[in-house]
Every structure is written in C-alpha cells, then in structure tokens.
Amino acid sequence: MPNWYYEKKDLRNTPSIRDGIDFETERRYRKEGARFIMQTGTSMGLGHNTVATGVVYFHRFYMFHSFKTFPRYVTSCCCLFLAGKVEETPKKCKDIIKTARSMLTDEKFASFGDDPKEEVMTLERILLQTIKFDLQVEHPYSFLVKYAKCLKGDSAKLQKMVQMAWNFVNDSLSTTVSLQWEPEIIAVALIYLASKLSKFTVADWAGKQPEHLKWWDMFVQDVTMEILEDICHQVLDLYQQPAPPESAPESPPQLPPSKSSPPMKRANISPVTVTKNSPTMTNPPPKTSVPPPPVEIEANPIPKHITTDNSSSLGGNYGTYPIYPIHQGPPPSQPPPPYNSGVPPPSGPPPQPWQHYPHPHSNSGYYQPPPGPTGGGRNNYYPPQ
C-alpha cells in the first residue's frame, strides 16, 4: 500500500508550488476546496465519513498535480462523487453538479466546461490512478468516540468536550494534518485541545495502568507533546487566518481550454509507489510561457475525448492495443506471388510433411491420451493440420 504521510518539507515542494503558486495561496486553495466538499456533501445529506473521504482524496490528489492544471471545484465534485461510491452512499453525478452549480458563481462554474458531467467522469479516471486505487480511508471520528468512552468525569462536561473535539475534527479537514499524521494521533491531539479549552481535566480513565502517564498512552505510543501541540496549532491557525486581500485572484491562472491538451496528458501520473520523502511525479510537466487569460478564472475544463497522440506523457497510444504481427495477414493488395511467377523460389530444402512425435510420457502413468477415433498418437485436443 502507498504511504500517504509526508514531511513538512514535502508539503512545501508540491506541484503547485513548483508551478509558481506560493505556499499560503495553496493552503487557501486547499481550504476552499475542502470547505466546498463539506458544504456540497451536507447539502446533499451525505454523512461525515463520506465527506471526510472526499476531502482526503482531494488533498492526496494535489500532492501529485497542480492547481493550475486541474481546477479545484471540478476536482472537489469528482472526489465527492467517488467517495460516495466507496462509502456506499452514492449520489448521481448530475445531482452533485446541480448542487455545485447552485453554490458557485458563473465565473467559478466556467471551469466545468460545456459538459460538466463529462468533465467529472473523465477526471474520476485520473483521480483513481493518482491515488493508486487505494480507496479505503480511516478517519479520526471513530477513534474519537472510542477514546472518549474510556474517559471518566462529569458527564455534562465530558459531553461538551467531546462535541468540541468533534468540531475540531471537522475543521481539521481544511488543513493538511491528514497528510502528516495517522487518524489515531489526530483524534488524541484534538481531544487534548478540546479538554484544554473546555477546562475538562482527564484525571481517570478506564483501563488505567501504573505505566500510563497520560490517558492516551493506552491507545498510542511514542506520541510526544510536541506532536500533539503541532497538530493543535495547525487547526487553531484556521481561526486566525486573515482575509485574503482584494487584489488576490479568485483562482490560479489557467491555460485556455484546448482539446489538444487532454487531461491524461496533463496528468502525467507516476507509476512509482508513493513514498514519504518523494511525493512528486516522476516526470513533472514542463512549465510553459503561455500568458494567462485576461480574466483569471478556472476556465480549464477537462476535454471530452482522450486523444492518442504519440507525444502523450503516458507513452503513445494510451487506451489502444498494438496489432501484433501474429494477427496480421498479408496485405490484400499484395498477395504472395506464386513460385512460377518469375520470382526465384526460396533457398534451402523443401518443407517436410507434418510428423507426429509421441508425448515423452505417453506410456507412463502421468499422461493418458484421451480416447478418440484416432487411438494413440496425437489427441483430439489438437485440430488436424
């Protein structure tokens, strides 16, 4: 299975950053895409697991692709569409697009192109290859409930603390903590944060042992306070981020829509297994000097058709199979000439007639030829020559 956890230095060397988008702007794009998935999923009555799975797909996708190449709102709808099928709460693609249309402005919805359904369905194929078909995702919600049941204290204060921690888990989806730490550690960190803010001191818990210095020692090991505080600060930073300046673009500059730039060509999906220290693609697309369109909108819909241009980064005629020589007969316009047509016959001895060679084990107990009208020798499984 791929390793989906990255170091902080990897998060500062994503395809978007190498494509000219600064770190803070990429954080804003991730936050907006995650919030859009949550709002769309909530409007359609999807559960928290489905929404969280879609957000994790979204964050993993942009560890391999740039926001300049794939518009984030199209990607958000695609991630939610796939998450619904994985979590067994499927929604029709047209219903997701209809909900997204009601929540986006005309400029933002322009990135869906002329056929939004085809855009999302085409991008789903790229998404599946990008995440290596690793569809199952665990979330902190189940661990949060499991750990909270072991804590002892005032019931009302405990319920308040757990509800606050649950809200922190929801907000953590807008950050990249799911790309840095396992869901068990995230659950512990956000329970710790909620207990501090709600002034609920965990003094006793079920299953307490003398070697347990903290309540989470019975669930996770080797988790330091530095790790927990780092996760808490990343979540708290969401509430302290200033509003973007008025001059900030609504979306990254997009290349103009072009049928000559198919999504599978732009995807350039790496076949190498994801590692923690190398989340980048094997062959990142070269930067171009194409000027951005006059209106900075996400106007880069995914084309409807996959071309089979030999210059594709996936290696030529993607999706087609070559015709092997064994399947090719002689061209109809050039039949093989007879030997008496003036062409010299082939050199060497004439071809020998078909000879039967008996099976080496035909007289042993390992091989028994099937009965047939021919008796011994060649069996009936082979057609007559």
Compute and round to an integer the Cα radius of gyration of the chain.
Answer: 30
- The residue among 199, 184, 188 whose CA lies nearest residue 165 is 188
Which long-range contacts does 94-97 make (Cβ < 8 Å, 24+ apart)?
A: 95/44, 96/40, 96/44, 96/120
Distance, in Å, from the CA atom of 216 to the CA atom of 184, rounded to the nearest integer, reads 10
Tokens of 14: 């994503």
**Tens digit of each residue's pLDDT (9 = 90 or more) over 216-249:** 998 998 899 999 999 999 999 998 866 555 445 5
Query: Which DSSP letter does residue 273 get?
Result: P
**C-alpha separations of 58 from 104, 283, 301, 369 in Å:** 18, 21, 17, 60
Q: How many CB atoms lie within 10 A of CB 378?
A: 16
pLDDT for 241: 63
Distance, in Å, from the CA atom of 318 to the CA atom of 125, rounded to the nearest integer, reads 13
- DSSP secondary structure, 335-371, as one string: PPPPTTSSSPPPSSSPPPPP-----TTTTSTT--PPP
**Tens digit of each residue's pLDDT (9 = 90 or more) over 316-329:** 333 333 333 334 44
Helix (H) / strand (E) element for 259: namely none
Tokens of 109: 């919805």
- What average pLDDT does the segment 263-288 reach? 44
State the chain's mean pLDDT as an integer: 76
Distance, in Å, from the CA atom of 69 to the CA atom of 265, rounded to the nearest integer, reads 11
- 48 touches 141 (CB < 8 A): yes
**C-alpha separations of 287 from 11, 282, 302, 317 in Å:** 20, 15, 19, 23
- 46 touches 91 (CB < 8 A): yes
pTM of the model: 0.67
- 63 touches 202 (CB < 8 A): no
pLDDT for 209: 86
- The residue among 142, 174, 169 whose CA lies nearest residue 37 is 174
pLDDT for 252: 52
Residue 18 has pLDDT above 70, yes or no: yes
Distance, in Å, from the CA atom of 111 to the CA atom of 61, rounded to the nearest integer, reads 18
Query: Which DSSP letter does residue 205 get?
Result: E
Lowest-confidence region among 58-67, 130-139, 173-182, 365-374: 365-374
Confidence of residue 347 (pLDDT cuts 50, 70, 90): low
